[in-house]
Amino acid sequence: WREDLAPGAVVLRGFALPLVPALLAGVEAVTAGAPFRHLVTPGGQTMSVAMSNTGSLGWVSDRRGYRYDATDPQTGRPWPAMPAAFAELALDAARESGFDGFTPQACLINRYAIGARLSLHQDKDELDYDHPIVSVSLGLPAVFLFGGFERSDKQVRIPIAHGDVVVWGGPSRLRYHGVLPIKPGSHPLLGETRINLTFRKVR
Ligand code: MD5
Ligand code: FE
């Protein structure tokens, strides 16, 4: 159930399954206070993925740029506190992959409808690349594009299912990556939706 993709990048198949009910309850609670929204990129494109955040910091984008902010710009309030099950899963998955003491400040919640995608990018808005990013997938399956350190490097496709957790650390922390358009389908718990939680230590 554990697959090493590359140095620092580990897939833990089904690792989140025991916590799914708590995670879904957490997503409901968080997004009641900080609703999903489609952010605009600095280039003016509206993202197909809808986003929210939980924790002491949240990732936001607008025409001015990308950044982490303690306040939800849409509500003017702090982001909802991180549910205990979220923090516990992130810590356990990181430890299982060789990263001890992972205490993320931010969890970005991505919601994909059918056809939604994330184009190739690097996650480099954090100030500390020594900590991994932990990603938890729920609902409809996805295909990750896992690239190299240059945008033009060849990518491999990694199928990801409900309950899978991926830890992206060490030299894989800064690889280019993306998510292919979600294929039509229906998941027993989430219907025509994929949810991804990404835990980040920002600073
Ligand atoms: C997703 N989210 O499925 C992905 C999961 C994002 C994002 O990419 O920025 O919200 S995280 C995938 C990831 C993170 C860090 C490094 C690498 C992949 N990687 O080296 O391939 O919604
Ligand atoms: Fe990313």
Quickly tell me which residue has 């490097």 as its tokens. Answer: 153
Cα(179) to centroid(ligand 2), Å: 9
- Residue 126 near residue 134 (C-beta atoms within 8 A): no
How far, in Å, are 48, 49, 67, 194 from residue 115 at the CA level? 8, 9, 26, 11
- Alpha carbon distance, N-terminus to C-terminus of the chain: 31
119 CA → ligand 2 middle, Å: 9
For ligand 1, whether the C-beta of 135 sits within 6 Å is: yes
ipTM greater than 0.85: yes
Residue 177 beta carbon below 6 angstroms from any ligand 1 atom: yes
Mutation choice for ligand 1 from 49, 110, 194, CB with most ligand atoms inside 8 A = 110
Query: Which residues are 50's β-sheet partners?
Result: 111
Distances (CA, A) of 138 to 33, 65, 92, 100, 152: 21, 28, 17, 24, 29
**Residue 93 has what pLDDT?**
98
Regarding the beta carbon of 123 and ligand 1, being less than 6 Å apart is answered yes
118 lines ligand 1 (CB under 6 A): yes
Mean pLDDT by 10 residues, the chain (203 residues): 96 98 98 98 98 98 98 98 98 97 98 98 93 98 98 98 98 97 98 98 95
Domains and CATH numbers, the chain: 2-200 (2.60.120.590)
Per-residue pLDDT at 128:
84
Per DSSP, 37 falls in state: B
pLDDT at 184: 98
pLDDT value at position 177?
Answer: 98
pTM: 0.98
> 185 to each of 20, 31, 124, 182, 193, how far by Cα in Å?
19, 23, 32, 9, 9
| Residue 55 host element (H or E) | strand 50-55
124 CA to centre of ligand 2 in angstroms? 9
For residue 110 and ligand 1, the question of a CB distance below 6 A is answered with yes
Q: How far apart are CA 92 and CA 26, in angstroms?
A: 17
